[in-house]
């Protein structure tokens, strides 16, 4: 959420930013919030004036009573009654307009960084760099679900009976490999100096609206019936919410955390769920990076964070590339974002396995997270990045490690997490 003062003083910049995001339907909001802000400020002035008059009149009444001028004092009381009624009306209108202002401000997008490429949707995202050589073996690589089943590691038929489409059972060494990558990701980030955390997996609605846009919320979040609780779609939601309403000394920044959680998503939209496979599902597990820092340090952290994900996947012998998200592909709270994509030798293309974002002070402003500085209290910056989201990372491991004999080679860095196992072998029929 932008600062209303910034909107008031930079109307043209805010409108141009909306155009860059191809959200022209939101352009009228800028003039509407400026008009609402003007009315609210006028009401505040009127309210302050009425309160001042009430205080002066009350002092006068007190003095009249002391001077035994009872009749004159009682006549003044009516003015205090009238002021209170008028003040009640003014305060009610101010509160109503403030709520309208907040709801409109919440859907005006954050100002994107100048380096963000302009484009309408993800088809116009821009490749930045490739890491590792993409390869195509001289033998066919089966679909990842078929690899899992040949290794005795996947049962979607049973999950269909228990839970429906979008869920899965992972079994045996495949389940173990899935968890090994999560454990390795945890230790990888701890070795980078991040504090490990396991957050609540449910959060209240005021935290949800503090960390994401309404559109994202509707398309992603599962609501707990009859309770003000939502299942998290990523641990970032809980981890940023942890600091709601807090004042943090700037000497304690940056705060760098790596958090584990299961994640739950509706996956509403054009992409839909994957019937057989594990790429787009309702439930998965994730290791996340979350950073709170001074605004001037945000871009340095952004570049460090996505580079950690690249380093992580390269340590698994998986080729990756980074993709700059264009303006139309950025969620409204994001200043800048890039995706990390893993190489699929089966499809002979890259697919998304993680996303890194800097959100400026958008989440901090919504949640009231400030830093204490010598120049007063200021909103800080927040960033988040995927270390690993499995089973997407599992898909990359299966395809890149698939051997001609049907086995899957386990990267060296994961073997200690797998009890020394070097490969997963096909089950004998």
Q: State the pLDDT at residue 69.
A: 86
User: Scanning the structure block, which residue is given the tokens 């959680």?
Assistant: 261
Q: Are strands 283-293 and 247-249 parallel, antiparallel or unpaired?
A: unpaired
Q: Is the dihedral of CA 302, 242, 327, 264 positive or negative?
A: positive
pLDDT of residue 274: 63
Buried b (16+ CB within 10 A) or exposed e, 303-320: ebbbebbbebbeebebbb
Phi first, then psi, for residue 231 (nearest 5°) are: -75, 135
Structural domain count, the chain: 2
Whether 113 maps to a domain, the answer reads: no
57-82 core/surface letters (b: 16 or more CB in 10 A; e: else)? beeebeebeeeeeeeebeebeeebee
> 71: which 2 tokens?
């009749």
Residue 64 sits in which domain range? Answer: 4-105
Distance (Å, whole) CA 107 – CA 137: 48
Does residue 258 surpass a pLDDT of 70? yes
| Domain end residue (candidates: 80, 105, 130) | 105
Whether residue 150 sits in one domain with residue 87: no
114 within a domain of the structure (yes/no)? no
Give the per-residue pLDDT at 275: 67
- Give the chain's mean pLDDT: 94
Count Cβ atoms below 10 Å from residue 260 Cβ, excluding itself.
20
On the question of pLDDT at 265 being above 70, the answer is yes
DSSP secondary structure letter of residue 325: P
Q: Looking at residue 55, what is its pLDDT?
A: 92
pLDDT at position 72: 84
Convert 270-301 to b/e letters by CB count within 10 Å (16 or more is b).
eeebeeebbbbbbbbbbbbbbbbbebeebbeb
Judgement on whether residues 279 and 402 belong to the same structural domain of the protein: yes
Quick check: is 116 in a domain? Answer: no
Q: Which of 335, 346, 306, 348 is nearest to 323 (CA)?
A: 306
| pLDDT given for residue 73 in this prediction | 83
CA distance 180 to 319: 19
Tens digits of per-residue pLDDT, 42-69?
999 999 999 999 999 988 888 888 888 8
Rounded to whole angstroms, the maximal C-alpha distance in the chain is 107
Confidence of residue 120 (pLDDT cuts 50, 70, 90): very high
Q: How far is CA 371 from the centre of its chain?
A: 20
Q: Which two tokens stand for residue 183?
A: 């454990």
15 with 132, same domain: the answer is: no
Whether residues 302 and 399 fall in one domain = yes
Could you tell me what percentage of the chain is helix, strand and coil, using 3-state DSSP and rounding each to the nearest 5?
A: 45, 20, 30
Alpha-carbon span 381 to 383, nearest angstrom: 7
Domain check: are 71 and 156 in the same one? no
Q: Dihedral through CA 320, CA 324, CA 329, CA 333, nearest 10?
A: 110
Stronger pLDDT, 400 or 274, i.e. the higher one: 400
For residue 159, the Cα-to-chain-centroid distance in whole angstroms is: 29
Region of poorest pLDDT, from 54-63, 100-109, 360-369: 54-63
Banded model confidence at residue 268, pLDDT cuts 50, 70, 90: low
Note whether 320 and 198 are same-domain residues: yes
**271 — pLDDT class (breaks 50, 70, 90):** low
Write out the two tokens for 220: 């992603």
129 and 75, same structural domain? Answer: no
Q: Taking a C-beta distance cutoff of 8 angstroms, is the pair 353, 389 a contact?
A: yes
Mean pLDDT of 300-319: 98
**Residue 257: pLDDT band with limits 50, 70, 90:** very high
CATH assignment of the domain containing 54 = 1.10.287.40
| Residue 216 domain flag | yes
pLDDT (average), residues 145-173: 95
Task: Please indicate whether residue 290 or residue 78 has the higher confidence score (pLDDT).
Answer: 290
C-alpha Rg value of the chain to the nearest Å: 28
Pairing relationship of beta strands 336-344 and 320-324 according to DSSP bridges: antiparallel
Q: Model pTM? A: 0.91
Predicted pLDDT at 187? 98
For residue 429, the model assigns a pLDDT of 60
Residues 67 and 142 in one domain: no
Q: Where are the beta strands (DSSP E) in 254-328?
A: 255-264, 283-293, 320-324
| Boundary of a domain, candidates 77, 105, 133 | 105
Q: Which band of pLDDT confidence, cut at 50, 70 and 90, is reported for residue 232?
A: very high
What pLDDT sits at residue 282? 93
Name which of 6-20, 65-79, 163-177, 349-363 the model is least confident about: 65-79
Residue 354 lies in a domain: yes
Is residue 240 included in any domain, yes or no? yes
Residues 92, 135 share a domain: no
Give the mean pLDDT of 172-199.
98
Residue 94: band (very low, low, confident or very high) from pLDDT cuts 50, 70, 90: very high
Share of residues in the chain with pLDDT > 90 (%)? 87
* Torsion sign over Cα 160, 162, 167, 170: negative
- Confirm whether 111 is domain-assigned: no
Dist. CA 162–CA 154, nearest whole Å: 14
Same-domain pairing of 25 and 94: yes
Is it the case that residue 273 has pLDDT exceeding 80?
no
Q: What is the mean pLDDT of residues 393-411?
A: 97
pLDDT beyond 60 at 287:
yes
Q: Which of 74, 105, 136 finishes a domain?
A: 105
Indicate which CATH number applies to the domain containing 283. Answer: 3.30.930.10
pLDDT at 380 (0 to 100): 97
99 CB neighbour count, 10 Å cutoff: 11
**What's the whole-number mean pLDDT along residues 395-411?**
97
Q: Does residue 39 belong to any structural domain of this protein?
A: yes
Give pLDDT, residue 35: 97
Query: For residues 364 and 246, what is the distance between their CA atoms, to the nearest angstrom?
Result: 10
Rounded Cα distance, 283 and 166, in Å: 7
Q: Are residues 128 and 99 in the same domain?
A: no
Together in a domain, 259 and 157: yes
Question: Nearest to residue 341, comparing CAs of 349, 329, 331?
Answer: 349
Instruction: With beta carbons less than 8 A apart as the criterion, state whether 390 and 284 touch.
Output: yes
Closest-CA residue to 147 (of 422, 404, 341): 404
């Amino acid at each position: 959420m932008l600062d209303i003062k910034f909107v008031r003083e930079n109307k043209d910049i805010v409108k141009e930013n909306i155009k860059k995001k191809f959200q022209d339907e939101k352009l009228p909001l800028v003039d509407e919030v400026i008009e609402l802000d003007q009315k609210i400020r006028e009401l505040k002035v009127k309210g302050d004036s009425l309160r001042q008059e009430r205080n002066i009149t009350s002092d006068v009444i007190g003095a009249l009573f002391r001077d035994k001028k009872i009749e004159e004092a009682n006549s003044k009381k009516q003015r205090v009654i009238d002021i209170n009624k008028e003040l009640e009306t003014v305060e009610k209108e101010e509160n109503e307009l403030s709520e309208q202002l907040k709801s409109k401000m919440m859907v005006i997008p954050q100002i994107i960084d100048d380096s963000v490429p302009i484009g309408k949707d993800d088809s116009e995202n821009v490749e930045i760099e490739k890491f590792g050589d993409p390869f195509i073996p001289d033998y066919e690589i089966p679909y990842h679900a078929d690899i899992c089943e040949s290794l005795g590691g996947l049962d979607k038929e049973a999950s269909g009976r228990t839970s429906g489409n979008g869920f899965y059972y992972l079994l045996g060494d495949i389940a173990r490999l899935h968890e090994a990558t999560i454990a390795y990701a945890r230790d990888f980030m701890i070795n980078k100096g991040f504090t490990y955390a396991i957050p609540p997996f449910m959060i209240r609605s005021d935290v949800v609206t503090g960390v994401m846009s309404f559109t994202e919320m509707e398309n992603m979040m599962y609501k707990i019936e009859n309770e003000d609780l939502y299942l998290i779609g990523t641990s970032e939601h809980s981890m940023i919410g942890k600091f709601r309403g807090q004042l943090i000394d700037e000497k304690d920044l940056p705060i760098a955390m790596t958090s584990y959680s299961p994640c739950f998503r509706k996956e509403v939209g054009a992409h839909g769920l994957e019937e057989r496979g594990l790429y787009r599902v309702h439930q998965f597990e994730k290791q996340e990076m979350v950073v709170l820092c001074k605004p001037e340090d945000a871009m340095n952290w952004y570049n460090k964070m996505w580079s950690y994900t690249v380093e992580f996947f390269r340590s698994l012998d998986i080729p990756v590339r980074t993709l700059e998200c264009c303006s139309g592909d950025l969620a409204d709270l994001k200043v800048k974002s890039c995706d990390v994509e893993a190489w699929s030798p089966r499809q002979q293309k890259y697919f998304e396995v993680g996303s890194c974002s800097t959100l400026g002070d958008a989440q901090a402003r919504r949640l009231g997270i400030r830093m204490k500085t010598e120049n007063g209290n200021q909103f800080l910056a927040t960033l988040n990045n995927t270390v690993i989201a499995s089973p997407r990372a599992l898909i990359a491991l299966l395809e890149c490690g698939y051997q001609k004999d049907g086995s899957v080679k386990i990267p060296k860095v994961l073997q200690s997490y797998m009890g020394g196992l070097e490969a997963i072998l096909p089950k004998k029929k």
